[in-house]
Every structure is written in structure tokens, then in C-alpha cells.
């Protein structure tokens, strides 16, 4: 494995982590849009509140690794994806601002809640559009649109599964039942969207679907495992299966596209930074991951406990 491969692995790990953890975070906002009562919104807010900013650290790793390790690819993607990336950034900023203003405002029915929820849909949809455009090597066509819809569905799916466990931990069994129903529905919806998206991808990027065969099969098994675990009220197990279902597809996409970074023909070797700088970049990223992983794990562990235990 070369230093360029190592940097790419770190970038891939960051993408997977952001997709799962950041995706669940975005999904909480999606469900906030459809929340029927205050208790549902309070569960979403109390679950997201302590950790939501931490999830963006994975996106920082991705951007730094791409800019420092593969500047040619970074420049090409920045030009190709200017509009959807700008929309995603707007969604992330508006979402963060709205979340804070709503939490510290006096009016529980503040319009900031609606801004937060809409931005929580806009951001993952835009990022999904970027991912779809990267997969086919161009902006436009139907697959980026399908990828945008699939990204929002995956976020809702992850969030609903995670919130089931949080509701039980916080002693809210009625909310667990409610989000269990939503998790099952979003799991089916995500599967249907994936089935629709695959032939579109095969049309826009022939050969990529065949390379994704193993990843898709593993993801299907994990998705079925999620549904079974939810039906049996095994929410901790369901979280593992749900995260695995999404992470497998993202990782499989990266492996299927390797060594091409930007289709149709910009490869790892052509896009890499000078050989003298890559080992330094890799070392910095590895050290950063080594520091960040246990810190984030501790953060999640602390705030996954009931409030009285944290006190």
C-alpha cells in the first residue's frame, strides 16, 4: 500500500463515519419535520443536542485529506459540484443556526423549528446529489436525483432506528413504539429507492453496479437484520445492522470505483500530491484519527446514559 492509498483509506473512513453518524443526525431533523407532538421533538433535540456538532469532524477529515492528498481531484470536484456543494453548505449552516435559536428561544412554536427541519432535508439531499454526480462523473441526469432521494431516506432510516434505543434508555416506551414504526417504514422505503436507483446507475455508469454486487448483497442482509431486530424489539442490535447496511454500500462504492477518483478517467496516481508530501499528510491524518476516535466514542458513551446517571 502506498501513501496515496493510505490517505484514500482515511478519506474513505471519514466518508463512512460521516454518512452513518452525520446521516443519523440529519435524519433527526427529517423526523422533526414530521413530529406530531412536543415529546417527539424533545427526544430528537435531547438526543442530538450534545453530539450534533461533533459529527462534522469527519467531514473535516475528508476535506483536508482530499485537499492535501489529491489537489487535482479537489479542484475538479470543486468546479463540477459548485452549486450542490453550496446548497449543502447553506443547509448545514442554516440547520445549525436554527437549532440553536429554537433551543434558546422562548416560543416552542418558533419558525426556527421549521427552518431546522427543512435544512435537515436540504443538506443530505444536496450531499447525496454530489455523491451521485461523483459516481457517474457528471452533474445532471437521473442518478444524482435518485441518490439525493436515497440519501434523505437513509438518514431518516438511521435516525429512526437510533431514536428507538434512545427512547428506551430515557424511559419513554411509547416513543420507542412510535419510532419503531417509523424505522420499519423508512427501512422499506429505503429499500424500494435502492431498487429503483440501481438500474438508473447501471445506465449512467455501466459496470459499476456489477462491481457493487457483494456490497449490495451484504447491505440487503443487514437491512433484513435491522427489520427482524426491530420486530423483536432488539434496538441495540438494530442499530448495528442499520449502520452496517449504510456503511457497506458507501465502502463498496469506493472499492468498486478504485483506482478512479473522478470518473471517467482521473485516477489515484494522476490526482495525487507530490510523493514527498503524501507521507506527511498521511501521518497527520492518522494521528488526528487516533485522537478523535476515542474522544468521540467517549462523548457518545457519556450521553447515551440516562440523565440521572450522568449527574
CB-hemisphere CA count at 13 Å for 271? 28
Burial letters for 229-255: b for 16+ Cβ neighbours within 10 Å, e otherwise? Answer: bbeeebbebbbebbbbbbbbbbbbbbe
Q: How far apart are CA 201 and CA 102, in angstroms?
A: 39
Question: Does residue 260 sit in helix, strand or coil?
Answer: strand
Question: Does residue 261 sit in helix, strand or coil?
Answer: strand
Cell 426556527 locates to 112
With residue 266 as reference, give the H or E element that holds it.
strand 266-267
Q: How far apart are CA 253 and CA 150, in angstroms?
A: 14
Q: Are 238 and 36 in contact (CB under 8 A)?
A: no
Mean pLDDT over 185-207 rounds to 93
pTM over 0.85: yes
Q: What angle do CA 137, 143, 144 make, to 5 degrees?
A: 70
Q: What is the largest CA-CA distance in the chain?
A: 58
Q: How confident is the model at residue 52 (pLDDT cuts 50, 70, 90)?
A: low
Find all residues with CB under 8 Å of 213, minimum gap 6, and list them.
Answer: none
Q: How far apart are CA 23 and CA 253, in angstroms?
A: 17
The number of residues in the chain equals 311
Question: Does residue 267 sit in helix, strand or coil?
Answer: strand
Q: How far apart are CA 30 and CA 152, in angstroms?
A: 8
Q: How confident is the model at residue 309 (pLDDT cuts 50, 70, 90)?
A: very low
Q: 215-242, pLDDT tens digit by residue?
A: 999 999 999 999 999 999 999 999 999 9
Instruction: Give the three cell numbers for residue 114.
Output: 421549521
Q: What angle do CA 200, 159, 187 make, to 5 degrees?
A: 45
If you average pLDDT over every residue of the chain, what do you get? 91
Check residue 50 and give its pLDDT.
Answer: 62
Q: 99-144, pLDDT tens digit by residue?
A: 888 877 666 567 888 899 999 999 999 999 999 999 999 998 899 9
Q: What domain range is 175 assigned to?
A: 3-310
Q: 259-279, pLDDT tens digit by residue?
A: 999 998 899 999 999 999 999
Instruction: Give the three cell numbers for residue 76.
Output: 475538479
Crossing angle for the helix pair 38-48 and 142-169, to the nearest 10 degrees: 100
Q: How far apart are CA 7 and CA 19, in angstroms?
A: 18
Check residue 171 and give its pLDDT.
Answer: 86
Q: Where are the alpha helices (DSSP H) in 170-306?
A: 173-204, 208-211, 213-231, 235-257, 268-271, 278-303
Check residue 107 and give its pLDDT.
Answer: 62
Check residue 261 and give its pLDDT.
Answer: 94
Q: Where residue 164 sits, what CATH number does that domain have?
A: 1.20.1630
Rg (CA), the chain: 19
Give the count of domains, the chain. 1
Instruction: Give the three cell numbers for residue 250.
Output: 458507501
Name the residue among 242, 224, 234 with its Cα closest to residue 161: 242
Amino acid at each position: 500500500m502506498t501513501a496515496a492509498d493510505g490517505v484514500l483509506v482515511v478519506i474513505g473512513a471519514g466518508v463512512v463515519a460521516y454518512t452513518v453518524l452525520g446521516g443519523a443526525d440529519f435524519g433527526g431533523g427529517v423526523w422533526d419535520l414530521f413530529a406530531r407532538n412536543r415529546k417527539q421533538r424533545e427526544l430528537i433535540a435531547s438526543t442530538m443536542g450534545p453530539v450534533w456538532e461533533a459529527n462534522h469532524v469527519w467531514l473535516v477529515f475528508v476535506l483536508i485529506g482530499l485537499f492535501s492528498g489529491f489537489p487535482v481531484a479537489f479542484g475538479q470536484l470543486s468546479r463540477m459540484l459548485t452549486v450542490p456543494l453550496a446548497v449543502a453548505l447553506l443547509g448545514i449552516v442554516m440547520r445549525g443556526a436554527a437549532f440553536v435559536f429554537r433551543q434558546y428561544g422562548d416560543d416552542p412554536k418558533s419558525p426556527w423549528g421549521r427552518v431546522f427541519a427543512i435544512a435537515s432535508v436540504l443538506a443530505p439531499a444536496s450531499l447525496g446529489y454530489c455523491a451521485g454526480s461523483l459516481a457517474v462523473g457528471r452533474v445532471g441526469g437521473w442518478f444524482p436525483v435518485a441518490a439525493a432521494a436515497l440519501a434523505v431516506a437513509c438518514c431518516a432510516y438511521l435516525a429512526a432506528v437510533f431514536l428507538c434505543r434512545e427512547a428506551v434508555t430515557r424511559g419513554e416506551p411509547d416513543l420507542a413504539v412510535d419510532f419503531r414504526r417509523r424505522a420499519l417504514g423508512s427501512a422499506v422505503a429505503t429499500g424500494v429507492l435502492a431498487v429503483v436507483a440501481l438500474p438508473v446507475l447501471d445506465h449512467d455508469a455501466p459496470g459499476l453496479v456489477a462491481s457493487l454486487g457483494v456490497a449490495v448483497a451484504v447491505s440487503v442482509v443487514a437491512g433484513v437484520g435491522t427489520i427482524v431486530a426491530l420486530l423483536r424489539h432488539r434496538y441495540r442490535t438494530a442499530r448495528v445492522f442499520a449502520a452496517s447496511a449504510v456503511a457497506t454500500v458507501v465502502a463498496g462504492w469506493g472499492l468498486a470505483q478504485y483506482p478512479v477518483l473522478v470518473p471517467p478517467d482521473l485516477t489515484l496516481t494522476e490526482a495525487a500530491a507530490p510523493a514527498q508530501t503524501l507521507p506527511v499528510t498521511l501521518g497527520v491524518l492518522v494521528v488526528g484519527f487516533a485522537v478523535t476516535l476515542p474522544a468521540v466514542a467517549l462523548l457518545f458513551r457519556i450521553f447515551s446514559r440516562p440523565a440521572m446517571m450522568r449527574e
